[in-house]
A and B are shown apart, each in its own frame.
Chain A
Amino acid sequence: MAAEAIIRALRDGALEGEHAPALTIEDSIHSPLSPSVFNHIIAHLFSNIFTSKSQPQGIVLVAFSRSPQFYAELLQSKANDVTSLNQWVRILDCHTDPMGWKTRLVKNGIIANPSVEIAAPVSLCENVKDLDKVFSSIVELGREFVKDKKGRFAVAIDSVSEILRHASTSSTASLLSNLRSHDQISCAVWSVHSDLHEKKTLSALEYMSSMVGIVEPISQTTTSQGSNYDNLPLMEQNFVRGKFSARFKRRNGRIRLMLEELHVEPTGIKFVPSSQDDLISQSLVPKVQFNLQLSEKERNDRAKVVLPFEHQGNGTPIQIYDGRKSLNESNRENKDYTVHKQTEDAGRGEITYFRDSDDEMPDSDEDPDDDLDI
């Protein structure tokens, strides 16, 4: 649920007059899985862009810790053909030559530095210390696939830790802040290794993001004195499994927490519902005499209730509205509409109702019109 909600939020992009949604992915050395999560999310974001289901019309990838070839291959496997990479992806290469050494060495004739063939359009950044330049390069690359003024694109930075190694916290923060407030940027994703930085730096990053995904080890195996070698199998688990907690910051200031488990499998990563989810929500609630939570049975029973305004048993499946209608859905709607017209002639009225997405409890204190753009 957590990962899906993140991907959905990135797909839907920014609202007019609001900052773009931004995601920080954090991990630590005991469970270093943020690259896997980052790859998972940009792959999904790319498939959404590829099938034009999303607000962003393209993605600018800023590669610090992995080579551009790696990302080109990753996205190519999602797209099946090379032309789509040209159309929807630009890579800013801050990995190959971040300080301009290679260029200087080539100039002095010491090395040849043969170029490697990459399927996606790449532009090289030779001085990552100059973050203003990095920012303008990102915007320039993004404008290449945004034709009209209203179009937007997504930005993904694979390691803010690398940026922080070259630049101060304030200039890094200003880069990220400029990105998410830019009116042509639809959403931003970045990942960071939390144990490489001070707490205040991390907080600064978290303040600037509307979503924070944190990968934590499943089992705490290390003591302050270092590693405890009695727990090798448990430590081994931490390389392939982790707790993934996501924190969503709503516009009205409300915070929502979600918890999932993350499994790294040979084919990619998989998110499964966390077994500890219930445990945590229960421990947060103060101990009282009466029931605050629904039991499993009560919840199931409630899910079965068909609301009076939903169509009842006339054969069509219940449609759930999850924020955006895709193209074929709206086609079908048109067809339905013509059918309705005929029935209307018979003097009968009808209510067409789409049930809202299920991830919010129906009786939460959330403003139901929060997403409306009035």
Chain B
Amino acid sequence: MSGLYSSPSHSLLEEALSFGEADDAVYLSSSRPKAALPSGGGGGGGGSGTVVLIEDCVETNGGFILHHLIKRALSPNRPSDVVVFVSFAHPFSHYDRILRKMGCNLSGHRENKRFIYHDMLSMNSPGSVRDGIEATDDLLMTLYGKIQKAVELYSSPEGSKHVTIMIDDISLMEVAVNGLSNHVVDFLHYCYSLTTQFGCSMIILNHEDIYSSLEQLSPLLHLEYLANVVIKAEPLATGLATDVHGQLTVFNKGICRRNGKSKSKIRNFQFRVKENKVEFFYPGSQT
């Protein structure tokens, strides 16, 4: 089917993530010490000061959105973007393999210092388990110190890069700190303070269904309040289908600024994960 709905494969997600044309104006009028922020960071989920929360569930893995956003941040037409990646979920080789199929050389970017990878998997191993709240605090503080150090390095006037902090994923981070979810929210608050201090942005992945029994008082809500954009990945309501793998709902709350708010929007569309790319389309527009 062609016509009204036919569009380049990922533009639906791009459109849903963007904050409208006013976004670039924010950069120019911003009173941050850095005079010129790289315009490459504009127009999208990688934009300055944004927090994107990806919520997935057991039936539909949201990891592909993260891969897609890594690829977008490291694409050749955004030369001034740097990704600081904190992984609790997979080793580097996992991301390297997937991104290579998508046409993005992660090892190369790692050597060029555009992809800074923090391996937090070792934190989970029994040998390094330390208990006590203070130890947890120290652990998160040390990790935060590493992140801020990287952000300072690349956001400095000499570096002048747009940094995106990515965390995969929050639930495993909670496991790593022995289930103290409040400490994880503290950590995320600190990362969030970097987005206003240095104009970087943040993309985090979390699972929705593991909090379902906690009802209202969940730490997930804290994250939802923190985020400008929430992306929910869910299976189709009608059950499994061969050529549709699930649906995405993007809640774009807009950026709140002192003189008002950019336009908020909600988009819902379906996706199909292919070997080397993801296709996004409106329901019913795929034959």
Contacts and interface: CB of A to CB of B under 8 A. Distances in A.
Given A196-B221, A196-B222, A197-B217, A105 B266 contact: no
Contacts of A264: 260-261
A311 B253 CA distance: 53
B264 A236 contact: yes
A77 B141 contact: no
Contact of B258 (A74, A117, A265): A74
A101 B258 contact: no
A101 B187 CA distance: 10
Interface in A97-129: 97-99, 101-102, 104-105, 108, 110-114, 116-117
A156 to B, nearest CB: 15
B225 A110 contact: no
B124 interface: no
Contacts of B189: 98, 162
Nearest to B237: A229
Contacts of A197: 217
Contacts of A39: 258
B197 A67 contact: yes
A36 B185 CA distance: 23
A193 interface: yes
B266 A232 contact: yes
Given A32-B225, A165-B185, A229-B249, A105 B259 contact: no
Contacts of B149: 110-111
A108 B144 CA distance: 13
Given A32-B225, A67-B193, A73-B31, A165 B264 contact: no
B136 interface: no
Interface of A: 29, 32, 35-36, 39, 66-67, 69-70, 73-74, 77, 95-99, 101-102, 104-105, 108, 110-114, 116-117, 161-162, 165, 193, 195-198, 227, 229, 232, 235-236, 239-240, 264-268
Interface of B: 31-33, 137, 141, 144-146, 148-149, 152, 182, 185-186, 189-190, 193, 196-197, 216-217, 221-222, 224-225, 232, 237, 247, 249, 251, 253-254, 256, 258-261, 264-268
4 tightest A-B contacts by CB? A239-B264, A67-B196, A74-B258, A110-B145
